[in-house]
């Protein structure tokens, strides 16, 4: 039955009263017609008195919505569209680590893309969402091409004062294996070399992709292996990295029940990563394919609910958590925020059929952003007004102070 055992604490939609409702509706309609304002955060602060800023580590974001790593952050046109539309940050497509000779233990992860198919997916709880069927994995062009892409993206990001996060996947060893130190050395120092070419606006941000496809390896099933990866990988990266560098990890979802996922999340929360992204897509071991939709947000939010204290201990003025998984509305962003996420990484919602966005012009990113922020029933603004939230980052800080009693706040 719909709704049973769901973790959501906010209603699906809100209905504001009178004047406020008209204000949001007018904005949404106006932006659908004319496009979003250049300074969305400034506009929202002036008109509604609401602070939209998000945060990654100690870096302020103009809003919490970011492009998740994947097929939509693979070229400069995509990056440009995102910056122009007003996204808060961008995580570039994941590159697979290699050594100086071009050899890579994760060679199989450099597969060429298959066609992506965006489909409706019904969750176990009966909700209909979206998922992207796709069997590709990491960056499939050369490493040199990636360095060029990273360089150009960083430059463009600096122009717009928007952080660009580089994403990297490293080989994860079995119990009796060593780490591929040469691959860490080559990959990290080359990426850092690009960062160091110029004076940059922000610290270097690197997200390690612990991909759901790691579920193909039996090693994932042994928590001791995972602990070792989470302990050693940040050290190895910092060893070959630079001081102005934040090292993050995007944590996979494991096949199976929530208990092991909780254990893995707990390990991440006691690791030395500067930021965490919770949690990459679910993995179907039969189809050998990752998927999303409401099963993904159900699982992620359920697990985060159980780890409130650990999350509150992890986050600080320097360390943050980013949410990912089925963020298809401002309302869903808030579900992640009350559990400690000061930003959200989105892939699927940028890919849904165009008729599901109200805006009939502009880039997909701009169309999606108007829905995420201003949709009168599901957007971040009406929800923040409805819930009495003045600043987005306060919502996360409330968790730290023990004031986001998501369990108590039940609108179902
Ligand atoms: C087609 C596709 C490709 C992806 N490629 C990557 C990737 O290279 N690296 C990564 O960390 N995550 C990758 N992801 C995961 C997304 O970044 C995102 O975290 C995940 O899809 C959950 O967000 P969503 O529900 O908004 O799609 C990919 C997702 C999709 C759908």
Give the per-residue pLDDT at 115.
81
Dihedral sign computed on CA atoms, order 251, 252, 254, 257: positive
| Cα(123) to centroid(ligand 1), Å | 18
Cβ-contact 247, 271 below 8 angstroms: no
Residue 66 has pLDDT above 50, yes or no: yes
Strand 341-346 relative to strand 65-67: parallel, antiparallel, unpaired? parallel
| Cα(59) to centroid(ligand 1), Å | 23
Is 137 contained in some domain? yes
113: tokens are: 């893309």
| Cα(70) to centroid(ligand 1), Å | 5
Atom of ligand 1 nearest to the CA of 71: 3
CA 355 to each of CA 120, 351, 359, 368: distance values in angstroms, whole numbers, following the listed order: 14, 11, 9, 11
Bridge partners, 91 (sequence order): 165
305-315 confidence digits (pLDDT tens)? 999 999 999 99
Is 93 contained in some domain? yes
Nearest to 303 by CA among 332, 274, 339: 339
Question: How far apart are alpha carbons 266 and 310 in whole angstroms?
Answer: 7
Q: For atom 14 of ligand 1, which residue has the closest CA?
A: 70
Is 8 contained in some domain? no
Is 11 contained in some domain? no
363-400 confidence digits (pLDDT tens)? 999 999 999 999 999 999 999 999 999 999 999 999 88
Bridge partners, 282 (sequence order): 291
Q: For atom 22 of ligand 1, which residue has the closest CA?
A: 325
Nearest to 364 by CA among 53, 89, 87: 87
Residue 411 has pLDDT above 60, yes or no: no
Nearest to 277 by CA among 9, 50, 62, 70: 70
Place of tokens 């070399």: 193
Full residue range of the structural domain in which residue 241 is found: 18-400
The residue whose CB lies within 8 Å of the most ligand 1 atoms, and thus the one to mutate among 70, 90, 112, 132, is 70
Residue 122 has pLDDT above 80, yes or no: yes
Residue 251 has pLDDT above 60, yes or no: yes
Is 5 contained in some domain? no
Band of pLDDT at residue 27, cut at 50, 70 and 90? very high
Band of pLDDT at residue 113, cut at 50, 70 and 90? low
Count of domains observed in the chain: 1
CATH code assigned at 139: 3.20.20.70
Residue 352 has pLDDT above 50, yes or no: yes
Q: Which residues are near ligand 1 (CB < 6 Å)?
A: 68-71, 93-94, 116, 132, 134, 138, 167, 209, 250, 280-281, 292, 296, 324-327, 345-349
Residue 48 has pLDDT above 90, yes or no: yes
Give the per-residue pLDDT at 170.
97
Q: Is 354 helix (H, G, I), strand (E, B) or coil?
A: helix
Strand 245-250 relative to strand 89-96: parallel, antiparallel, unpaired? unpaired
Residue 56 main-chain phi, psi, to 5 deg: -125, 125
Residue 2 has pLDDT above 80, yes or no: no
Nearest to 76 by CA among 136, 132, 146: 146
222-244 confidence digits (pLDDT tens)? 999 999 999 999 999 999 999 99
Is 59 contained in some domain? yes
Question: How far apart are alpha carbons 352 and 348 in whole angstroms?
Answer: 7
Band of pLDDT at residue 137, cut at 50, 70 and 90? confident
The chain-wide mean pLDDT, for the chain, equals 94
Band of pLDDT at residue 1, cut at 50, 70 and 90? very low
Q: Is 377 helix (H, G, I), strand (E, B) or coil?
A: coil
Nearest to 388 by CA among 36, 8, 87, 14: 14
Strand 54-56 relative to strand 59-61: parallel, antiparallel, unpaired? antiparallel
pTM, 2 dp: 0.96
Is 231 contained in some domain? yes
Give the per-residue pLDDT at 288.
87
Q: Kind and range of the H or E element at 278?
A: strand 275-278
160-202 confidence digits (pLDDT tens)? 999 999 999 999 999 999 999 999 999 999 999 999 999 999 9
Is 410 contained in some domain? no
Nearest to 285 by CA among 190, 223, 221: 221
Largest CA distance in the chain: 66
Band of pLDDT at residue 135, cut at 50, 70 and 90? confident
Question: How far apart are alpha carbons 145 and 98 in whole angstroms?
Answer: 13
The contacts of residue 126 (CB under 8 Å, 6+ apart) are 1, 2
Burial string for 228-264 (b: 16+ CB within 10 Å, else e) reads bbbebbbebbeebbeeebbbbbbbbbbbeeeebbbeb
């Amino acid at each position: 039955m719909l709704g049973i055992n769901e973790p959501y604490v906010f209603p699906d939609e809100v209905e504001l009263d009178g004047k406020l409702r008209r204000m949001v509706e007018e904005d949404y309609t106006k932006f659908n017609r004319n496009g979003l304002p250049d300074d969305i955060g400034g506009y929202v602060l002036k008109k509604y008195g609401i602070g939209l800023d998000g945060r990654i580590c100690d870096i302020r974001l103009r809003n919490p919505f970011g492009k998740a790593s994947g097929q939509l952050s693979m070229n400069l046109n995509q990056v440009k569209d995102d910056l122009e539309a007003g996204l808060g940050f961008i995580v570039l497509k994941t590159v697979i680590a290699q050594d100086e000779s071009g050899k890579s233990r994760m060679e199989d992860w450099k597969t060429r893309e298959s066609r992506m198919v965006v489909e409706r997916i019904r969750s176990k709880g009966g909700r209909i969402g979206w998922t992207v069927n796709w069997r590709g994995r990491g960056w499939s062009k050369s490493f040199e091409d990636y360095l060029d892409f990273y360089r150009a993206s960083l430059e463009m990001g600096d122009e717009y004062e928007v952080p660009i996060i580089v994403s990297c996947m490293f080989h994860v060893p079995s119990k009796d294996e060593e780490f591929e130190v040469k691959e860490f050395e080559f990959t990290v120092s080359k990426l850092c070399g690009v960062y160091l070419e110029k004076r940059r606006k922000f610290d270097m941000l690197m997200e390690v992709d612990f991909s759901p496809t790691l579920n193909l390896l039996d090693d994932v099933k042994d928590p001791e292996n995972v602990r070792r990866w989470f302990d050693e990988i940040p050290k190895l990266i910092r060893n070959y990295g630079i001081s102005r560098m934040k090292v993050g990890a995007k944590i996979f979802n494991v096949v199976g029940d929530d208990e092991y996922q909780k254990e893995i999340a707990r390990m991440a929360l006691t690791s030395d990563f500067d930021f965490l992204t919770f949690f990459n897509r679910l993995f179907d071991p039969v189809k050998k394919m990752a998927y999303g939709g409401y099963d993904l947000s159900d699982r992620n939010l359920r697990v985060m609910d159980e780890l409130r204290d650990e999350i509150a201990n992890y986050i600080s003025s320097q360390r943050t958590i980013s949410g990912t998984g089925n963020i298809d509305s401002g309302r869903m962003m808030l579900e992640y925020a009350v559990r400690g996420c000061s930003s959200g990484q989105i892939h699927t919602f940028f890919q849904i059929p165009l008729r599901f966005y109200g805006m009939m012009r502009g880039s997909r990113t701009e169309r999606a952003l108007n829905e995420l922020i201003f949709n009168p029933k599901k957007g971040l603004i009406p929800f923040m007004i409805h819930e009495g939230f003045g600043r987005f980052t306060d919502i996360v800080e409330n968790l730290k102070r023990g004031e986001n009693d998501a369990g108590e706040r039940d609108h179902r």
